[in-house]
Amino acid sequence: MSAKQPTIKEIAKRLNISISTVSRALHDHPSIGLRTKTRVKELAEELMYEPNQAAIFFQQRKTFTIGVILPFLSEAFFSAAISGIEDVAGKNQYTVLLGQSRDDAEREKQIIDTMKKHRVDGLLISISKHTTSYEHFEMLKKSGIPLVFFDCIPNMPDIHYVACNMVSGTVQATSFLLKKGHRVIGLINGPEKLYASKQRKEGYQIAMSKHRLKYDPSLIVNSDLTKESNYKATKELLTHKRKVTAIVTFNDYVAIDAMQQASEQKININKDVCFVSYANLPLVQHLKFSPMASVEQHPYLQGQKAAEMLIELLGRKDDERETPGSYKIIVDSQLMIFPQ
């Protein structure tokens, strides 16, 4: 049982040759005689030899591991994203180390520490919504660990990232409603300081001005994305002095709460008040109340792109990596309209 794994040394001893010969034979080094090579390979096979990656990682100062830090895997967006990451990583012989921040800045910091300890070759991060200080990211940069952000990105100069352009998604969402004749459209936005919220706000404003409508700031309300806050925001819009006939919500979860709340107020969902949202949850069309449309953010694609970017970065020689500036990829969001 559990006989300890054979090493090249073991093979060398048995064959009465040197370990370097064994190493080379195993690597198909051209200078090794066919005879020796076969002998080595056969014995390796027989002993079920497997190179000790730990030793190789150590020797090559590389772990072939990338760390992925994201808020919640339970959010469909992230589980899709990590699949994209995993696929790209796997194709490139990299492996994925996982850490969920649970939207807790402290936890995020701690995970980064652990990953640094584990000497991941690089990191993919979607920051927690409570992360405000960015020192830990700076620190990583300084220690030469490449970093690619995706989806939720910090407001820092010179970072590599992949993100979705929420502005255009929001323009589409709002325009969709405007074209349907709505004139008083509310927006339940996320926390004000979030970049994602700023983009939605901007998109909303652009759509309004495109349609030559005056922008009414009181139609945008912020929620901290808890159920209570979502309810409150919804009530605020539903009791607005102007009659709100359509609401754009920060994401599908917010939409669920908003529609629930509206329905309790005897409002006919998507009749009296129309809803449009973001995320495009897999189950969204099966919901009791579902929005008329939802902005797809292509999480799998974002994951792929981010992983590709990171691996590209990792492939470079250290000196090339010094290149100033940063990579950015913007994935276009897209309004998915559901059949009614």
Partner DNA sequence: TTGTAAGCGTTATCAA
Partner DNA sequence: TTGATAACGCTTACAA
Q: Which residue's CB is nearer to DNA, number 9 or number 321?
A: 9
| Residue 18 binding DNA, by CB under 7 A | yes
> Scanning residues 286 to 315, which ones bind a second copy (CB under 8 A)?
286-290
| Piece of 30-38, 51-59, 182-190, 226-234 that binds a second copy (CB under 8 A) | 51-59
CB of 215 to a second copy, least distance (A): 32
| Residue 31 binding a second copy, by CB under 8 A | no
| Piece of 48-56, 78-86, 177-185, 331-339 that binds DNA (CB under 7 A) | 48-56
First vs last C-alpha separation in the chain: 62
Which two three-digit tokens encode residue 287?
A: 């919901």
| Piece of 26-34, 91-99, 221-229, 295-303 that binds DNA (CB under 7 A) | 26-34
3-state DSSP assignment of residue 207: helix
Question: How far is it, in rounded angstroms, from Cα 318 to Cα 315?
Answer: 9
> Scanning residues 216 to 245, which ones bind a second copy (CB under 8 A)?
none
| Residue 167 binding DNA, by CB under 7 A | no
Per-residue contact string for residues 140-169; x = within reach of a second copy by CB under 8 A:
--xxx-------------------------
- The residue within the footprint of DNA, chosen from 19, 178, 287, 336 (CB under 7 A), is 19
Burial class (CB in 10 A: 0-12, 13-18, 19+), 282: exposed
Question: How far is it, in rounded angstroms, from Cα 238 to Cα 313?
Answer: 49
| Residue 56 binding DNA, by CB under 7 A | yes
Q: Which residue's CB is nearer to a second copy, number 20 or number 114?
A: 114
Cα-flanking dihedrals φ and ψ of residue 95, to 5°? -125, 155
| Residue 329 binding a second copy, by CB under 8 A | no
| DSSP string for residues in 74-113 | TSHHHHHHHHHHHHHHHHTT-EEEEEE-TT-HHHHHHHHH
> Scanning residues 259 to 278, which ones bind a second copy (CB under 8 A)?
260
Question: How far is it, in rounded angstroms, from Cα 330 to Cα 309?
Answer: 12
| Residue 23 binding DNA, by CB under 7 A | yes
Which two three-digit tokens encode residue 249?
A: 């919500």
Cα-flanking dihedrals φ and ψ of residue 197, to 5°? -70, -40
* Rg value, the chain, Cα: 26
Q: Which residue's CB is nearer to a second copy, number 52 or number 245?
A: 52
Question: How far is it, in rounded angstroms, from Cα 119 to Cα 84?
Answer: 22
Beta bridge partners of 160: 148
| Residue 57 binding a second copy, by CB under 8 A | yes
Question: How far is it, in rounded angstroms, from Cα 280 to Cα 261?
Answer: 20
Question: How far is it, in rounded angstroms, from Cα 31 to Cα 319?
Answer: 32
| Residue 114 binding a second copy, by CB under 8 A | yes
Which two three-digit tokens encode residue 292?
A: 């008329």
| Residue 73 binding a second copy, by CB under 8 A | yes
| Total binding residues toward a second copy, as defined by CB under 8 A | 57
3-state DSSP assignment of residue 23: helix
Contact set with a second copy (CB under 8 A): 1-5, 48, 50-55, 57-58, 61, 63-65, 68, 72-74, 76, 79-80, 82-83, 86, 90, 95-100, 114-119, 142-144, 256, 260, 281-283, 286-290, 318, 321-322
Contact set with DNA (CB under 7 A): 4-5, 7-9, 16-21, 23-24, 26-27, 29-33, 35-37, 49, 51-52, 55-56, 58-61
